[in-house]
Structure 1
């Protein structure tokens, strides 16, 4: 296979910086590809910046030496970069994924060279005859460990506005007041830093709603970001440690802790979509039906149940929630789509949650192999609930598209391309996606690069 080198016209990265490189093909028959070039222990490596498994930001991932791993079945001289979303590890030299059951998820790598003038070059391979690559851009990314770690926090960035009471009033457990709207409760819960109380409030609101004691949807301002308990250590996703494959007790604790944190964010995502889009008018005239709010309140209640399950399992295994750091990677998509309900439904519920349907069976299988029957029982129930959550997102996405006269597949494809970086990565859990209403026309076109129509004459 033919290889050739491309100059970057920049010096190599340091231990606290990385280079984000964009390569484009000419003619443009292949999609642009981003790579991250980094230095580890004085050696330079270059690997694609998006995780081939989950679509996560691999460029943010921490680097681990082989001796740091729980078990190494084969000799390896290269360190690994770890995806901050699902902790999959990729050999920085070869791109091989460190999960033997995950065939087909290897990452692409490039050779790196430094010339006599101290500038970097990358070596690329000719993937199609007559197609050449060129460097479209190089960006320096700061990855200082100190800058990556965030301060602990206990209040939301924006406290929100609660309507329905005087200044300082807010709904509470057992206050006996039934005049609070659903949005009042949603904002209250988003601003609650204590995860246990957040869960109790969620269960309480679900009961009030089903008992007919909340008759108004209302309006209000949700916080910019949900509150978290000051006892929780929050770090950037790039600083998360490996969780392992579930064979050891500590590995299962890490996985359960990560899932519990995800469920806490999921509670907030459900209440945020309720509060933030409460006054949205489909086609500019039609309010969202009460069924929309019912569905996402049920999602919030389910996520609170899931969080409770996972925390109980953590405690049964001798740990607790808060024993490990948390990150807010999932909330980044909420911030990206805060001004567009269709984009929120597409990216959060039909991309991220749907990806959970793809990877959950693997997690369950690992716990089964470890003989953790109690965790497996809960994880299976959680998975079944998540199918309905993806279904809720798809159902209301399709409803809005119909009301507004949009073609749902083309709208979904455009919104995902605009708000989600990279391609959707197979293998897909087609059976459970289909149960949720996600047929192949939704996601398969997003798993390959879009076709570029070339002019007949140039």
Structure 2
């Protein structure tokens, strides 16, 4: 394909895990090899829509998802499936960040193509582990919260960078260390090690969101800290929960004032 945006659209449209992973790997390799002659495209992106998905998992409201503990193999398989579903969504989120927002510096596209490739690798590792538990992707219900935020921010790259990487994906920085600890306590070091890899690489993904959020603010002459507080209050109250992994968030580009704002909003909305 001559256009990175066409490649991103093809990855978004792919409706099986196998096709999405294969097209993502090819597009990332083509980008690294300089196959895409230009990163300019005067065509407007299509209106946002649901990306290609397999018929399963069934998407339900988060309240309809049963709460399962880690103590049984079935419970652990459901947990691995939930994380795999997040990573599958994250592939689409990264490609939509490439496809939807035009006329950015080349480093912007380099960052999000790299994120898409990472998320695809994370999904593949989790799917392999899920199969070792006798299940596959689609065997458990899931929810669509990540993509719903993509729809809400399709009009504005600044809002997308603030709310998807720096709120929803950053949530993984907060909760994953506890998950790793629980898995190790159960003797499931294999799943724990997959999460260690994901946690380490997600710091860089959230950092990319921080970098391009601030770039957007500077481009538009907006003060980033006040704008972040405004966006948190408008969009993120239902999904904002402490405690926060302050060390990981700091490494991912949150400054002290932003971390304080998160904690204040959390305290106001228990």
Tell me the CA shift for residue 439 of structure 1: 1.9
The runs of at least 4 consecutive aligned structure 1 residues that moved more than 4 Å come to none
Specify which of 238, 241, 246 is matched with residue 425 of structure 1.
241
* 1:226 matches 2:48: no
Specify which of 27, 46, 52 is matched with residue 205 of structure 1.
27
Aligned residue in 2 for 1:257:
81
Aligned residue in 1 for 2:6:
184
- Mapping of residues 4-403 of structure 1, within 5 Å: 178-179=1-2, 181-217=3-39, 218=41, 219=43, 220-221=45-46, 223-244=48-69, 246-278=70-102, 287-403=103-219
CA root-mean-square deviation: 1.7
The answer on whether the counterparts of 2:48 and 2:154 sit within 8 Å (CA) in structure 1 is no
Q: Residues 297-345 of structure 1: CA distance to partner in whole angstroms, max 9, x if unpaired?
A: 1111000000000000001122111111222122111111111111111
Aligned residue in 2 for 1:112:
none
Tell me the CA shift for residue 440 of structure 1: 2.4
The answer on whether the counterparts of 1:345 and 1:394 sit within 8 Å (CA) in structure 2 is yes
Mark the runs of 5 or more structure 1 residues left unpaired by the alignment: 1-177, 279-286, 451-458
| Relative contact order higher in (CA < 8 Å, ≥ 6 apart) | 2
Mark the runs of 5 or more structure 2 residues left unpaired by the alignment: none
The answer on whether the counterparts of 2:87 and 2:123 sit within 8 Å (CA) in structure 1 is yes
Q: TM-score, normalised by structure 2?
A: 0.92
How far apart, CA to CA, are the structure 1 residues paired with 2:57 and 2:243?
34
Tell me the CA shift for residue 199 of structure 1: 0.8
The change in CA–CA distance for 1:323 and 1:389 in structure 2 (over 3 A counts) is same
How far apart, CA to CA, are the structure 2 residues paired with 1:449 and 1:253?
33
Name the one with the larger strand percent. Answer: 1
The answer on whether the counterparts of 1:247 and 1:369 sit within 8 Å (CA) in structure 2 is no
* 1:414 matches 2:230: yes
Tell me the CA shift for residue 378 of structure 1: 1.1
SS of residue in 2 equivalent to 1:265:
helix
The answer on whether the counterparts of 2:56 and 2:139 sit within 8 Å (CA) in structure 1 is no
How far apart, CA to CA, are the structure 1 residues paired with 2:96 and 2:161?
12
Tell me the CA shift for residue 231 of structure 1: 4.1
Q: Residues 269-318 of structure 1: CA distance to partner in whole angstroms, max 9, x if unpaired?
A: 1111111112xxxxxxxx31010011011111000000000000001122
SS of residue in 2 equivalent to 1:243:
coil
Tell me the CA shift for residue 236 of structure 1: 2.6
Tell me the CA shift for residue 234 of structure 1: 2.6
Q: TM-score, normalised by structure 1?
A: 0.55
The change in CA–CA distance for 1:188 and 1:234 in structure 2 (over 3 A counts) is same
